[in-house]
Structure 1
Amino acid sequence: MSKFILWGNYCENALEKRQPYRKAHLDGLAKQKESGVLVTLGPTEDNTQVFGIYEAEDEATVRKLIENDPYWQHGIWTEYEVKAWIQAF
Protein backbone atom coordinates (compact mmCIF):
# COMPACT_ATOMS: atom_id res chain seq x y z
CA MET A 1 0.00 0.00 0.00
CA SER A 2 1.14 3.53 -0.76
CA LYS A 3 0.38 6.74 1.08
CA PHE A 4 -1.16 9.78 -0.57
CA ILE A 5 -1.86 13.29 0.60
CA LEU A 6 -4.86 15.39 -0.34
CA TRP A 7 -4.79 19.19 -0.46
CA GLY A 8 -7.97 20.90 -1.53
CA ASN A 9 -9.94 24.12 -1.30
CA TYR A 10 -13.34 24.87 0.16
CA CYS A 11 -15.93 27.14 -1.45
CA GLU A 12 -16.86 30.51 0.02
CA ASN A 13 -19.18 30.18 3.04
CA ALA A 14 -18.40 26.47 3.29
CA LEU A 15 -19.58 26.20 6.89
CA GLU A 16 -23.08 27.22 5.85
CA LYS A 17 -23.20 25.51 2.48
CA ARG A 18 -21.98 22.13 3.77
CA GLN A 19 -24.87 21.63 6.21
CA PRO A 20 -27.18 19.58 3.94
CA TYR A 21 -24.30 17.21 3.07
CA ARG A 22 -22.39 17.04 6.35
CA LYS A 23 -23.88 13.83 7.75
CA ALA A 24 -23.36 11.90 4.50
CA HIS A 25 -19.82 13.31 4.27
CA LEU A 26 -18.91 12.27 7.82
CA ASP A 27 -20.56 8.85 7.47
CA GLY A 28 -18.52 8.20 4.32
CA LEU A 29 -15.30 9.27 6.02
CA ALA A 30 -16.06 6.98 8.98
CA LYS A 31 -16.42 4.02 6.57
CA GLN A 32 -13.14 4.93 4.88
CA LYS A 33 -11.43 5.13 8.28
CA GLU A 34 -12.86 1.76 9.34
CA SER A 35 -11.60 0.15 6.13
CA GLY A 36 -8.12 1.56 6.73
CA VAL A 37 -7.90 3.63 3.54
CA LEU A 38 -8.30 6.98 5.33
CA VAL A 39 -5.61 7.84 7.86
CA THR A 40 -6.81 11.35 8.68
CA LEU A 41 -8.68 14.26 7.10
CA GLY A 42 -9.76 17.71 8.16
CA PRO A 43 -9.97 21.41 7.38
CA THR A 44 -7.41 24.07 8.05
CA GLU A 45 -8.26 26.24 11.03
CA ASP A 46 -9.60 29.00 8.77
CA ASN A 47 -11.82 26.50 6.89
CA THR A 48 -10.40 27.40 3.49
CA GLN A 49 -8.52 24.17 2.73
CA VAL A 50 -8.77 20.47 3.42
CA PHE A 51 -5.86 18.13 4.12
CA GLY A 52 -5.94 14.37 4.22
CA ILE A 53 -3.73 11.30 4.29
CA TYR A 54 -4.82 8.09 2.59
CA GLU A 55 -3.29 4.63 2.37
CA ALA A 56 -4.38 2.94 -0.85
CA GLU A 57 -3.30 0.74 -3.74
CA ASP A 58 -3.03 3.69 -6.13
CA GLU A 59 -3.85 7.33 -6.76
CA ALA A 60 -6.94 6.44 -8.79
CA THR A 61 -8.50 4.84 -5.71
CA VAL A 62 -7.97 8.02 -3.69
CA ARG A 63 -9.36 10.22 -6.47
CA LYS A 64 -12.45 8.03 -6.70
CA LEU A 65 -13.07 8.37 -2.94
CA ILE A 66 -12.70 12.15 -3.13
CA GLU A 67 -14.91 12.53 -6.18
CA ASN A 68 -17.63 10.33 -4.64
CA ASP A 69 -17.69 12.49 -1.49
CA PRO A 70 -20.78 14.72 -1.15
CA TYR A 71 -18.54 17.72 -0.52
CA TRP A 72 -16.95 17.31 -3.95
CA GLN A 73 -20.19 16.43 -5.71
CA HIS A 74 -21.97 19.52 -4.33
CA GLY A 75 -19.14 22.04 -4.76
CA ILE A 76 -18.12 22.38 -1.12
CA TRP A 77 -14.64 21.26 -2.14
CA THR A 78 -13.82 23.28 -5.24
CA GLU A 79 -10.47 21.82 -6.29
CA TYR A 80 -8.01 19.26 -5.02
CA GLU A 81 -4.60 17.78 -5.57
CA VAL A 82 -3.40 14.27 -4.71
CA LYS A 83 0.29 13.44 -4.35
CA ALA A 84 2.08 10.22 -3.51
CA TRP A 85 3.75 10.70 -0.14
CA ILE A 86 6.71 9.08 1.54
CA GLN A 87 6.40 9.00 5.31
CA ALA A 88 9.96 9.49 6.54
CA PHE A 89 9.15 9.50 10.25
Structure 2
Amino acid sequence: MPKYVMWGNYCDNVEEKRAPFRQAHLDGLKAQKEQGVLLTIGPTKDLKKVFALYEATDEKTVRELVENDPYWQNGIWTDYEVKEWIQAF
Protein backbone atom coordinates (compact mmCIF):
# COMPACT_ATOMS: atom_id res chain seq x y z
CA MET A 1 0.00 0.00 0.00
CA PRO A 2 1.31 3.51 -0.79
CA LYS A 3 2.75 5.73 1.92
CA TYR A 4 2.20 9.47 2.20
CA VAL A 5 3.94 12.33 3.97
CA MET A 6 1.87 15.18 5.35
CA TRP A 7 3.49 18.51 6.30
CA GLY A 8 1.32 21.21 7.80
CA ASN A 9 1.56 24.49 9.66
CA TYR A 10 0.19 25.37 13.07
CA CYS A 11 -1.58 28.59 13.94
CA ASP A 12 -0.01 31.21 16.22
CA ASN A 13 -0.41 30.52 19.95
CA VAL A 14 -1.03 26.86 19.18
CA GLU A 15 -0.66 25.61 22.77
CA GLU A 16 -3.44 27.88 23.97
CA LYS A 17 -5.73 27.52 20.96
CA ARG A 18 -5.51 23.73 20.67
CA ALA A 19 -6.52 23.04 24.29
CA PRO A 20 -10.30 22.68 23.73
CA PHE A 21 -9.76 20.29 20.80
CA ARG A 22 -6.71 18.32 21.99
CA GLN A 23 -8.46 15.26 23.44
CA ALA A 24 -10.71 14.76 20.41
CA HIS A 25 -7.64 15.19 18.17
CA LEU A 26 -5.64 12.60 20.13
CA ASP A 27 -8.57 10.15 20.23
CA GLY A 28 -8.90 10.38 16.46
CA LEU A 29 -5.19 9.83 15.93
CA LYS A 30 -5.27 6.81 18.23
CA ALA A 31 -8.08 5.30 16.16
CA GLN A 32 -6.15 5.93 12.92
CA LYS A 33 -3.05 4.31 14.44
CA GLU A 34 -5.05 1.27 15.56
CA GLN A 35 -6.50 0.94 12.04
CA GLY A 36 -2.97 0.98 10.62
CA VAL A 37 -3.43 4.02 8.41
CA LEU A 38 -1.42 6.45 10.59
CA LEU A 39 2.18 5.40 11.04
CA THR A 40 3.41 8.41 13.01
CA ILE A 41 2.61 12.08 13.61
CA GLY A 42 4.02 14.93 15.64
CA PRO A 43 4.97 18.59 15.77
CA THR A 44 8.36 20.10 15.22
CA LYS A 45 10.00 21.17 18.47
CA ASP A 46 9.18 24.83 17.82
CA LEU A 47 5.46 23.96 17.32
CA LYS A 48 5.43 25.60 13.89
CA LYS A 49 4.89 22.49 11.73
CA VAL A 50 3.27 19.07 11.92
CA PHE A 51 4.66 15.99 10.19
CA ALA A 52 2.84 12.70 9.61
CA LEU A 53 3.29 9.44 7.74
CA TYR A 54 0.26 7.56 6.50
CA GLU A 55 -0.21 4.23 4.77
CA ALA A 56 -3.38 4.53 2.73
CA THR A 57 -4.96 3.42 -0.52
CA ASP A 58 -4.71 6.91 -2.03
CA GLU A 59 -4.01 10.59 -1.39
CA LYS A 60 -7.73 11.36 -1.17
CA THR A 61 -8.01 9.13 1.91
CA VAL A 62 -5.17 10.98 3.63
CA ARG A 63 -6.72 14.37 2.81
CA GLU A 64 -10.05 13.20 4.26
CA LEU A 65 -8.33 12.12 7.48
CA VAL A 66 -6.56 15.48 7.79
CA GLU A 67 -9.65 17.53 6.98
CA ASN A 68 -11.83 15.57 9.43
CA ASP A 69 -9.36 16.19 12.27
CA PRO A 70 -10.50 18.71 14.92
CA TYR A 71 -7.21 20.58 14.47
CA TRP A 72 -7.99 21.26 10.81
CA GLN A 73 -11.66 21.98 11.38
CA ASN A 74 -10.87 24.52 14.11
CA GLY A 75 -7.93 26.31 12.49
CA ILE A 76 -5.14 24.80 14.59
CA TRP A 77 -3.59 23.45 11.40
CA THR A 78 -3.66 26.35 8.97
CA ASP A 79 -2.55 24.58 5.79
CA TYR A 80 -1.00 21.30 4.72
CA GLU A 81 0.35 19.35 1.79
CA VAL A 82 0.42 15.64 1.06
CA LYS A 83 3.03 13.86 -1.07
CA GLU A 84 3.31 10.19 -1.93
CA TRP A 85 6.50 8.88 -0.34
CA ILE A 86 8.84 6.15 -1.50
CA GLN A 87 10.51 4.41 1.42
CA ALA A 88 14.03 3.53 0.26
CA PHE A 89 15.15 1.86 3.51
The interval holding the TM-score normalised by the smaller chain is over 0.9
TM-score, normalized by length of structure 1? Answer: 1.00
- The separation in 1 between residues aligned to 2:53 and 2:26, in whole angstroms, is 16
Q: CA deviation at 1:17?
A: 0.2
Structure 1 stretches (4+) deviating beyond 2 angstroms? none
Which residue identity does 1:29 align to in structure 2? L
Q: CA deviation at 1:87?
A: 0.3
RMSD value, Cα: 0.2
Q: Which residue of 2 aligns with 1:83?
A: 83
Unaligned stretches of 5+ residues in structure 1: none
Identity over the aligned pairs, expressed in percent? 69
Which residue identity does 1:54 align to in structure 2? Y
Q: Which residue of 2 aligns with 1:10?
A: 10
Q: Map Cα deviations across residues 2-37 of structure 1 (whole Å, 9 max, x no partner).
A: 000000000000010000000000000000000000
TM-score, normalized by length of structure 2? Answer: 1.00
Which residue identity does 1:61 align to in structure 2? T
Q: Which residue of 2 aligns with 1:38?
A: 38
Q: CA deviation at 1:58?
A: 0.1
